[in-house]
Structures are given as structure tokens and as C-alpha cells.
Structure 1
Amino acid sequence: MTSPWFTLYARCPACDLVGPPESADYAGNPDGTINWTSSRPPEIRCGECGHLHTVTEHNLLALDAEHVCIRCAGATACPASAARVQCADCGLIGFGPASSDDAVRTLTTDTERLRRLQDYNRVRAAKAAAGLAATETRRTDR
């Protein structure tokens, strides 16, 4: 059975949130599944905080719940503990089943805001190191 990379749900050891990974790096089998016996351990990057961590078969969470997309009304299997879910039909990433808990929803949005701020500061530092003006890029087509 072929499993798209965004169905690899594991709890992030850094932020403790569950969601689809931002990226996944693993050796695959001819049928598209993960080769768990490869010498290279699978790694995923947390979609919420950006932490890169290795996973095992035992770290992956069961797809024991269903999320209905607010854009296309497609149903996607996901863990009940998922704070974020990526729609298998249209790709939209939305709040998952666990986000019905206000504490989880707040942690998710706060973690994502902190990540955006860290990314912004990394870009500013890189521009400064390169001697470029650290100006903001603003869209003018609005």
C-alpha cells in the first residue's frame, strides 16, 4: 500500500504536537512504503516547530480518527491526537481533532507564530551578514 509522506503522523519530541510533517526523508520500497530496514533511519521535520527528528515504526501514530476538510469536504484519516491535518484531496492543512481542546489549539498557534518569527530573524541575520539591507518585502499588488 502506498502511503504519502504527509500521512506519517508522529508526536514531535520538541513541541509535543502531532501533525503532518513539513518534510520526510526516508528510503522507500518499490511499492512506495518506508523501508524500515534501511541503514538510513527515516527523518521527519515537524510541520509546527520545524524540529528534525528520526522516527521508527513504533513512533508513527495510528490513523484512528477522521478529519473533514473545510475547503473541499474531503475526509482524511488521521490520529485523534493530531493538532493539524493535511487534506488528502486538496492539500489544505487545517486544525485536527485534538484542536477542539483550547489548550492544544493555543499551543499550536503559538508554536507556529514562534517558528515564523525565528524564520524571519534568520533571514534578517543572513541579509545582514551578506551586507544587504534588512528591509521588509511587502506585496504591492493588494
Structure 2
Amino acid sequence: ARQYDVSIFTFGDLSRVPGTESSLYNEKSKGRDINICYSPIDVLNFAKTNPDKKVIFIAIGFETTIPLTSVIVKKAYNEKINNFYIFNTHKLIPEALELLLLDKEVKIDAFLCPGHVSAIIGSKP
């Protein structure tokens, strides 16, 4: 985020998450090119219209956001948009839950998980 030659895009909820030294929100206040997007398609369109800029989309989320990220990867490839990059930080719910269940020190009575993820992965992934 501290490089001046890149435009970084992410969803708004990630902008204030603290990193080891700062947050994207703080870096934006220092003049860095940090942008909030509502759709990765908007980021791809920005990259298309700004071919001299490196454009990075921080892709974050669970099973529900992976398909949209996949669509823009394919679209960028098909349209030969060479200045578009993805920092992929997607996570899968079943693996995270399994790690918690395997930890003998963690006492879990139940999981309350997001319904939209269950709609994608089903009840028995």
C-alpha cells in the first residue's frame, strides 16, 4: 500500500483492518492510491482505462465471493488486461471450522455460520 506506482482496490470493510504497521485507510490519508470498490468489475474497468497503472484488487471473503473473483480473472485474461493483479486472500469455511474442531483446547457447543455460505457449499461439504 505504500508504493506510489499502484492503485489498490478493496471492499470497504477491509479498509480499516489494522495491519502490522498501518491500515489501508491510514495509508489513503497519507496520499496513497487506495480505493473502495463495490464490485471487482469496477476495478477491472479502471485497469482497462488506465493501462499505464498497476491495479491491484485485494480479493477477500469466503465461498460467496470466490466466483466473482474468478469471473474477473477470466475476463482480464480474455481481454489481455496486463496491468490487473489480484491479491487473493479468500478463505474456505469448512477448513476453518475443521481446524477449530481438531483443537482439543477449544470447547465449542455450536457454530452459527452465515446462511449465504451454506447456500453455496451445502450442509455437508
User: TM over 0.5, yes or no?
Assistant: no
**Structure with the larger RCO, 1 or 2 (CA within 8 Å, 6+ apart):** 2
| Alignment TM-score, normalising by the size of structure 1 | 0.29
TM-score scaled to structure 2, two decimals? 0.32
Q: Structure 1 or 2: larger helix share?
A: 2
